[in-house]
């Protein structure tokens, strides 16, 4: 069944992309881009998001073959992990339970909490995040602030759907300077090959304006990180391909930005990966002044984010990773 809301979002993304690249919107460009979307899906299995985020509309056939599409990434995830474990850990509640040691903050689950539990939580935390249990791309996340007389309404909403209340994280001051309203996280892709954790790629995710989320699919900006140095390698980029030499809110230069405590971040992610049932994960990590905390562990975290903003296509890298896994399984 066609999801009308998804089509509306994609149509708006297409118009934004046309406007950015062509200076205006007309029927000719809509038809041209629409035909491009269909052709690239049939030829390369590129989704609409792939077409715009990976800028397939301006790449030749050879260049397109260098990129891992969303469907390629899903096939890799399904090859590496069992469907049972994958499905189970799509739940934020189950994910947080498995990784409790690395969460390092208070949380409350709607399915298991009483009104008394809720009142104790909000008494301790006047502001916090509300997260739907199964949602992605920043959807279903709201910042709640308790005021006099609001507790009853908030509690009823909390109990209405499976959800998690999440204590707010105070991030490192250098990351807060980029966009103080959002926790600007590091997304790091890893895969376990035998007993070894392999770092696939990393990106800095930054909110824009007054948003509380940093997802680039929800209007944020991405900076590609050199995995060895922790330095942003090029200008930032958003989901429709607009490039930013400076962060659009803070005006901080993107290229050359140094992620604080990078060695600690990598060590933290490796430890998380070695203690989690899923082997292929996209980790969202917040950096505090003296340590790191886990924000989320995403099954199949959509590798587009580590293929933009100056990063190269990673299809060959994923093919090599699969060969390594196959070799271990044969032995």
Q: Looking at the structure, do residues 176 and 306 belong to the same domain, yes or no?
A: yes
- Could you tell me which residues come within 8 angstroms of residue 47 by beta carbon, excluding any fewer than 6 positions away? 41, 69, 70, 71
Q: Looking at the structure, do residues 126 and 238 belong to the same domain, yes or no?
A: no
Number of independent structural domains in the chain: 3
Q: Looking at the structure, do residues 37 and 110 belong to the same domain, yes or no?
A: no
| Rounded (10°) CA dihedral 270, 275, 280, 283 | -60
The per-residue pLDDT for range 211-250, each reduced to its tens digit, is: 777 767 667 899 999 999 999 999 999 887 888 999 999 9
Q: Looking at the structure, do residues 11 and 91 belong to the same domain, yes or no?
A: no
Local confidence pLDDT in tens for the 331 residues of the chain? 456 666 677 777 777 777 766 677 778 888 888 899 889 999 999 988 888 889 898 899 999 999 999 999 999 999 999 888 888 888 888 888 899 999 999 998 887 788 888 889 988 988 888 888 765 555 678 888 887 777 888 888 888 777 888 899 999 999 999 999 889 999 999 999 999 999 999 999 999 887 777 767 667 899 999 999 999 999 999 887 888 999 999 999 999 999 999 999 999 999 999 999 999 999 999 999 999 999 999 988 789 999 998 899 999 999 999 999 999 888 7
Report the pLDDT value the prediction gives residue 323, as an integer from 0 to 100.
95
Domain residue limits at 231: 73-95+171-330
Burial (CB count <10 Å: 0-12, 13-18, 19+), residue 132: middle
């Amino acid at each position: 069944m066609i999801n009308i809301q998804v089509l509306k979002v994609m149509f708006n993304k297409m118009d934004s992309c046309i406007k950015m690249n062509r200076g205006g919107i007309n029927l000719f460009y809509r038809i041209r881009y629409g035909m491009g979307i269909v052709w690239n899906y049939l030829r390369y299995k590129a989704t609409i998001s792939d077409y715009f985020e990976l800028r397939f509309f301006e790449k030749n056939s050879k260049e397109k073959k260098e990129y891992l599409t969303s469907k390629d990434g899903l096939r890799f995830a399904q090859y590496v992990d069992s469907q049972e474990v994958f499905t189970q850990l799509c739940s934020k509640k189950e994910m947080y339970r498995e990784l409790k040691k690395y969460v390092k903050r208070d949380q409350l689950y709607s399915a298991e909490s009483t009104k008394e539990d809720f009142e104790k939580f909000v008494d301790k935390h006047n502001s916090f995040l509300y997260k739907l249990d199964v949602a992605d791309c920043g959807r279903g996340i709201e910042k709640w602030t308790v005021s006099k007389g609001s507790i009853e309404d908030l509690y009823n909403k909390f109990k209405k759907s499976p959800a998690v209340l999440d204590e707010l994280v105070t991030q490192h001051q250098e990351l807060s300077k980029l966009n103080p309203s959002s926790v600007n996280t590091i997304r790091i892709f890893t895969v376990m090959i035998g007993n070894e954790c392999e770092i696939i790629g990393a990106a800095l995710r930054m909110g824009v304006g007054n948003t509380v989320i940093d997802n680039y699919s929800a209007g944020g900006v991405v900076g590609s990180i050199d995995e060895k140095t922790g330095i942003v390698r090029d200008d930032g980029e958003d989901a429709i391909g607009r490039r930013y030499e400076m962060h659009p809110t803070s005006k901080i230069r993107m290229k050359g930005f140094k992620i604080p405590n990078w060695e600690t971040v990598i060590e933290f992610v490796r430890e998380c990966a070695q203690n989690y049932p899923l082997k292929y994960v996209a980790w969202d990590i917040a950096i505090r002044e003296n340590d790191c905390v886990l924000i989320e562990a995403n099954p199949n975290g959509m590798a587009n984010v580590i293929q933009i903003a100056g990063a190269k296509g990673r299809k060959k890298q994923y093919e090599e990773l699969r060969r390594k896994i196959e070799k271990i399984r044969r032995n």
